[in-house]
């Protein structure tokens, strides 16, 4: 079985990871990715942190273990049933890796339930991973606005939200303006990234 071709961004991630790893870890990664489809790759997925560590990669900033798991999911061409099982049976780091892999897999919108699940948590590591390209592409507008608000409420910088400028609409502006008013009424600061969104798009007239 042939693994799917590596898109440019994943090829760059792969190169960055291999470069950052010491020799034995890099060898483990290459062998794991090459033979993934034939081997017990789910065990490799589980133990990835013990093999490649958690250090942030120099260019993407992604933890090494996340990068390895994303590349592995791509290498095995993981389908909906697989990503659902790995997410549901995963610890927080494994769930984060599944969420980050979603945009790179041959999935339509049908895995959006995993993103919605992550957005219901208060674990910011999961919220950040859920607010990526897959959510930008597939999350419905109501849920997407609430994802943005969730980031604001849990202290996740809005730079983590993929496609923010493209999907910002009048209703999101209204929600953020109400949020800002609530903060000001309580004598609390309004985060700069919220002010930036409010400033970029003209505030619509209240009816």
Partner 1 sequence: MRIFDPHIHMTSRTTDDYRAMRDVGVQALVEPSFWLGQPRTSVGSFLDYFDALLGWEPFRSSQYDIAHHCALALNPKEANDPRCTPVLAELDRYLRKDGVVAVGEIGYDSMTPAEDEALAAQLQLAVDHELPALVHTPHRDKAAGVARTIDVVNESNLPTERVLLDHLNETTVKAAKDSGCWLGFSVYPDTKMDEARMVRLLHEYGPEKVLVNSAADWGNSDPLKTRKVGEAMLADGFTEDEVDLVLWRNPVAFYALSGRLDLGERPTRDDYAGNVLRRGAPADS
- For residues 118 to 137, the per-residue mask of contacts with partner 1, x marking binding by CB under 8 A and - elsewhere, is ---xxxxx------------
Least CB distance from residue 72 to partner 1, whole Å? 15
List binders of partner 1 among 37-56 (CB under 8 A).
43, 46-47, 49-50, 54
Nearer of residues 48 and 71 to partner 1, judged by Cβ:
48
Q: Which is nearer to partner 1, 100 or 168 (CB)?
A: 100
Q: How far is the CB of 104 from partner 1 (least distance, A)?
A: 23
Please count the residues of this chain forming the interface with partner 1, following the rule CB under 8 A: 17
Measured from the CB of residue 46, what is the shortest distance to partner 1 in angstroms? 5
Three-state SS sequence of the chain: CCCCCCCHHHHHHHHHHHHHCCHHHHHHHHHHHHHHHHCCHHHHHHHHHHHHCCCECCCCCCEHHHHHHHHHHHHCCCCHHHHHHHHHCCCHHHHHHHHHHHHHCCCCHHHHHHHHHHHHCCCHHHHHHHCCHHHHHHCCHHHHHHHHHHHHHHCCCHHHCCCHHHHCCHHHHHHHHHHHHHHHHCCCCCCHHHHHHHHHCCCCCCC
Nearer to partner 1, 37 or 92 (CB): 92
Instruction: Please report, as ranges, the residues that interact with partner 1 according to CB under 8 A.
Output: 43, 46-47, 49-50, 54, 89, 91-95, 121-125
């Amino acid at each position: 079985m042939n693994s799917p071709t590596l898109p440019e961004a994943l090829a760059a991630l792969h190169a960055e990871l291999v470069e950052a790893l010491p020799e034995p870890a890099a060898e483990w990664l290459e062998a794991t990715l090459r033979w993934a489809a034939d081997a017990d790759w789910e065990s490799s997925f589980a133990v990835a942190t013990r093999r490649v560590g958690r250090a942030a990669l120099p260019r993407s900033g992604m933890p090494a273990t996340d990068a390895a798991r994303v590349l592995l999911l791509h290498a095995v061409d993981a389908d909906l049933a697989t990503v659902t099982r790995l997410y549901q049976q995963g610890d927080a780091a494994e769930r984060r890796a599944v969420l980050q892999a979603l945009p790179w897999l041959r999935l339509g919108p049908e895995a959006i339930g995993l993103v919605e699940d992550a957005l219901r948590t208060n674990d910011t590591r999961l919220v950040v991973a859920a607010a990526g390209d897959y959510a930008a592409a597939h999350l419905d507008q109501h849920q997407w606005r609430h994802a943005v608000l969730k980031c604001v409420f849990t202290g996740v910088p809005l730079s983590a939200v993929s496609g923010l400028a493209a999907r910002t609409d009048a209703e999101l502006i209204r929600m953020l303006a109400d949020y800002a008013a609530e903060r000001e009424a309580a004598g609390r600061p309004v985060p700069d990234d919220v002010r930036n969104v409010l400033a970029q798009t003209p505030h619509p007239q209240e009816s």
